[in-house]
Structure 1
Amino acid sequence: MRIRLRELGSRYDGGGWIVGLMSTGQFVALDEVGKRALDLLGEGWTAAAVTARLREETGEDIDIPEFIEALIDLGFVAEVDGHEVFSEQQPKPILAWIHPHHVRWALSPVVPVLIGLLLAVTLFIRPPVELSYRSLLWSSHGSAVIAFGAAASWLILLLHECAHLVTARATGVPGRIGLGTRLQFLVMQTDISGIELAPRRHRITAYLAGIATNLAFASLTALTAGTVDGAPRRLLAALTILALLPLPFQLMVFMRTDLYFVLQDLTYCRNLYGDGMAYTKYLARRLLGQKGQRDPSRVLPPHEQKAVRMYSAVLFVGTTICLGFFAAVALPADIGLFTRALNRLGSGHSTGERLDSLAVVVTLGGFHLLWLRTWWKGRRAKV
């Protein structure tokens, strides 16, 4: 058996290699023997020849046909014995017209320096803007406050995700923006699978690009607000608060936020969330008295074992608090609001009350349906 591999990228990662396809975001960790086998197959060696060569080099019999099957499942193989291997067509990247050379500047070390200077100027000047919840109530008309807040929040969120997309695209990663779920939250997220092959500085830059964008946006609006008066100043103050509000969410690393990926990279872990979840389930089964359970963290390198066990505590506590708050406060409030709105849709209520109730039913119901659809779309294959 002889195969032809697709154009794979690779990067040495401590005790092994990260190998994969940047176009599909499929990656795998290989040890030295696996990387050697992959290189020989890529040079056109047959499976039998690779098996014999590795037996000479390692003294072990490596199951190369099984290894090739795994490569095919990952989409790494283009041909087997001259026959083309079918590969699912990947969705086109968003904003495909943006090429790496267009946005190479995003990886320049000058960019974080400029953002740091902007933040320093903002903190030093201290513009006369009240950075409190009162700034969000910029108008006496509640509908105007809500409409402006919703539109501005989605705009800032889109800028946040585009920052991830642009920095990832600068490294050659396609990147795709879409909706996702984090526990009970509906979020916009950018898939930058493929960044694993980039140098560490570029990876960290891509992970922190969204936070940096929020901070830069808030600094610019705060500085501008200090130069105007009246309604423009109130609107800019509200924009400043709206840009800063999502940042505490990033600290919730148990939900794989931007800072989670920074933490995973700095701890040299390959799948901190997945390994942490597996270790948490292992501890839960032990507490329930289930015997014969094997510690899944034992197969990890020593430095990863420590990081995974510490992260599992954060994962358990954070998830428990988050879901507990949702079950005790948010969900009952939504159910109560939705039920009351349904009751007011019937006769006996004024036209204004019915229109208000209809808006609540459509908005609240639509949001939860969108969350369910997004959640199901992400888990449909597993189910």
Structure 2
Amino acid sequence: MLHDLAVRRDRDEWIVGRMATRTFVALPRAGARAVELLGEGRDVARTAAILRDETGEEFEVTDFVRDLAALGFVARIGDRPVAGGGPARASLPWLRPRQARFALHPALPVLVAALLTAAVVVLIRRPDLLPEYRDLLWSPHGSLVLVTGAAAGWTLLLAHELGHLVTARAAGVPGRMRLGTRLQFLVMQTDISGIELAPRRHRLTAYLAGIALNLSVASALLLVLALTDTGTTTHRLLSAAVLLALLPLPFQLMVFTRTDLYFVLQDLTGCRNLYGDGLAYARYVVRRTLRGPRPGGATGDGDPSTRLPPHERRAVRLYSVVLVVGTVACLTFMAAVTLPVDVTLLVRAARGLGPEHGLAKNADSAAVLVTLGGVNVLWVVTRWRGRRSRRSAGSD
């Protein structure tokens, strides 16, 4: 007997998964049919006989059931329960799908579009409201700018991820928020595994919910900004807030770091694992370039993309170029700009501590060390925990 499984057809395959453990797999038509028959309570022999009658081919249903058991899809075999993974931990478990249903209402994208349109109209009429980097320096005290910027930035980041979580929960997907790393970036990410089984509109809404929230916040703040007097503290703070809401959006274009737009791209191209397949193909090309083709090898010898359907193969090969170029550019920028700036600021802050400096100087230096140093330490800890988790999962 199988656990409660969800099934959705996707092109020439069927996505089958167990929402409780957020485990999913793509199966051909015969595999999906076997899951259907087994789920109806038929035994292995009867399932094999029905498949043989329907297709004229023999299927190793026993091996197939073993694979399903390894995925945690089998509840019991005969009267013997099968050990499987327990329910995955979810963030905000008290939030029910019916309470989050508003996030998938068709009127919500219209409201977001109307808010964004109003903000654009205001900007056209008053281009002086367009924020610039100087707006972030709203106070002459650097520590105050840094601390408030960090607080506002993390608040907006949490709201961004809550947008993903609430939308996914409305589609019946548990979802879990946690810290993660993308190259040199410390990020908060929401695992919404299971959204693959939802209709396309729900999937794309869940992927784009965070971007929509940032744009909505920035638009609303801009409309309020237009009502304030220029030069006041309120005006300066609102300008900084607008810019902080917009700053994460260019990062979303970095699809080589698996941003929100990466998942949109993966869905629209019909790829199962665009990043993993793109990385495998990029490694293959590098190895082949360094050592040359194997003697007597065929054109596709060792090429992992040849196992993919044609539409996936083209997308994966193009994405691999973006992956390599983007990753190299990011790491180069980190080595040439970000790292030297961080080290310089931390060294200056450390030198600014001591009894020979005034209270304001010590407070300013301490704020820089806590804020900037804390982010870097958090990145190292998060990176280490992520690697340890992946090693543990690989050893299970």
Q: Same fold (TM over 0.5)?
A: yes
Please state how far the C-alpha of 1:74 moved relative to its aligned partner: 1.3
Task: Please report how far the alpha carbon of residue 332 of structure 1 lies from its aligned counterpart in structure 2 after TM superposition.
Answer: 3.9
Distance 1:340 1:225 in 2: 35
User: Within 5 A, what are the aligned runs for 1:139-218?
Assistant: 139-218=139-218
The match for 2:308 among 300, 313, 327 is 300
Letter of the 1:137 counterpart: L
Match of 1:94 among 91, 96, 105: 91
Specify the code of the residue in structure 1 equivalent to 2:291. Answer: G
Deviation at 1:281, TM superposition (A): 1.0
Deviates more, 1:231-240 or 1:330-339: 330-339
The residue matched to 1:177 in structure 2 has which SS?
A: strand
* Distance in 2 (alpha carbons) for counterparts of 1:360 and 1:324: 25
Q: Which one-letter code corresponds to 1:221 in the other structure? A: L
Q: Residue 367 and residue 146 in structure 1: after superposition, are their counterparts in 2 closer, same or farther (change >3 A)?
A: closer
* Residue in 1 that maps onto 2:332: 324
The change in CA–CA distance for 1:317 and 1:103 in structure 2 (over 3 A counts) is same
- Return the alpha-carbon distance in structure 2 between the equivalents of residues 111 and 231 of structure 1: 33
How many positions carry a matched residue from both structures? 379
Q: CA deviation at 1:115?
A: 1.1
Give the structure 2 partner of residue 124 of structure 1: 121
The alpha-carbon deviation at position 33 of structure 1 amounts to: 0.9
Distance 2:234 2:371 in 1: 29
Give the partner amino acid of 2:156. I
- The residue aligned with 1:15 is 12
1:127-153, CA deviations, whole angstroms, 9 ceiling, x for partnerless residues?
Answer: 552411121111222222112211111
How far residue 363 of structure 1 moved from its aligned partner, in angstroms, is 4.4
User: Retained in 1: the 8 A contact 2:146–2:371?
Assistant: no
* C-alpha RMSD of matched pairs (Å): 2.3
Structure 2 CA distance for partners of 1:348 and 1:149, relative to 1, 3 Å: closer
User: Partner amino acid for 2:278?
Assistant: G
Partner SS state of residue 173, structure 1: coil
Give the Å deviation of 1:344. Answer: 7.3
- Aligned partners of 1:147 and 1:355: how far apart in 2? 12
Work out the CA distance in 2 between the residues paired with 1:277 and 1:296. 10
1:12 is displaced (CA, Å) by: 0.4
Alignment of 1:39 onto 2:32: no
Share of identical aligned residues, percent? 56
Compare 70-79 and 203-212 and name the one that shifted more: 70-79
- 1:378 Cα deviation from its structure 2 partner: 2.3
User: Which aligned pairs between 1:75-90 and structure 2 lie closer than 5 A?
Assistant: 75-90=72-87
Q: Is the Cα–Cα contact under 8 Å of residues 250 and 258 in structure 1 kept in the other structure?
A: yes
What is the distance in 1 between the residues matched to 2:136 and 2:142?
Answer: 11
User: Which deviates more, 317-326 or 128-137?
Assistant: 128-137
Kindly provide the CA deviation profile for residues 54-100 of structure 1, in whole angstroms up to 9, marking residues without a partner as x.
33433443222221222122111111222222233334322222211
* 2:394 equivalent in structure 1: none
Residue pair 1:9, 1:21 contacting (<8 A) in 2 also: yes
The alpha-carbon distance between structure 1 residues 340 and 241, as it changes in their structure 2 partners (threshold 3 A), is: closer
TM-score by structure 2 length? Answer: 0.89
Distance 1:381 1:63, change over 3 A: farther
- Bigger drift between 132-141 and 219-228 goes to 132-141
Q: For the Cα contact (< 8 Å) 2:119–2:222, is it kept in 1?
A: yes
29, 50, 54: which one aligns with 2:51:
54
Q: 1:184 to 1:12 in 2, by over 3 A?
A: same
SS of 2:138's partner is coil
- Return closer, same or farther for 1:143/1:331 CA change in 2, 3 Å cut-off: closer
Q: Aligned with 2:9: secondary structure?
A: strand
Please list the CA deviations of residues 284-314 of structure 1 after superposition, one character each: whole Å capped at 9, or x if unmatched.
1111116364111111111111111111111
Q: Distance in 1 between matches of 2:235 and 2:351?
A: 41
Question: Judging changes above 3 Å, is the alpha-carbon distance between structure 1 residues 125 and 54 closer, same or farther for their aligned structure 2 residues?
Answer: same
Once residues 378 and 306 of structure 2 are traced to their aligned partners in structure 1, the CA distance between those partners, rounded to angstroms, is 40
Structure 1 CA distance, aligned partners of 2:139 and 2:365?
Answer: 23
Q: Give, in whole Å, the separation in 1 of the partners of 2:122 and 2:366.
A: 47
Other structure's SS at 1:102 match? coil
| Stretch of structure 1 that moved more, 84-93 or 353-362 | 353-362
Q: 2:179 is aligned with what amino acid?
A: L
Cα separation, 2, equivalents of 1:130 and 1:143: 25
Preserved contact between residue 19 and residue 27 of structure 1 (Cα < 8 Å): yes
Segments of structure 1 that go 5 or more residues without pairing to the other structure are none
Q: Which moved more, 1:130-139 or 1:214-223?
A: 130-139
Matched residues in 1 for 2:75 and 2:302: separation?
38
- Rounded to whole Å, the distance in 2 between the matches of 1:102 and 1:232 is 35
Q: Is the 8 A contact 2:21 2:86 kept in 1?
A: no
The letter of the residue matching 1:369 is: V
Query: Does the 8 Å CA contact 2:115/2:219 hold for their aligned counterparts?
Result: yes
Pick from 352, 373, 378: which aligns with 2:386? 378
Structure 1 pair 247–25 and aligned structure 2 pair: CA distance change class (3 A): same
Q: Which residue of 1 aligns with 2:104?
A: 107
Q: 1:84 to 1:369 in 2, by over 3 A?
A: farther
Query: SS at 2:98's partner residue?
Result: helix
Tell me the equivalent position of 1:268: 270
The residue that corresponds to 2:320 in the other structure is: 312
Asked if the contact 2:175/2:193 (under 8 Å) is kept, the reply is yes
Name the structure 2 match of 1:367.
Answer: 375
Matched-pair contact (CA < 8 Å) for 1:106–1:167 = yes
What is the rounded CA distance, in whole Å, between the counterparts of 1:304 and 1:247 in structure 2? 27
1:25 alignment partner, one of 22, 29, 32: 22
CA contact (8 A) 1:11 1:18 kept: yes
Partners of 1:88 and 1:358 in 2: CA distance: 46
Is the CA contact (8 Å cut-off) linking 1:23 and 1:194 kept in structure 2?
no
| Farther off after superposition, 368-377 or 12-21 | 368-377
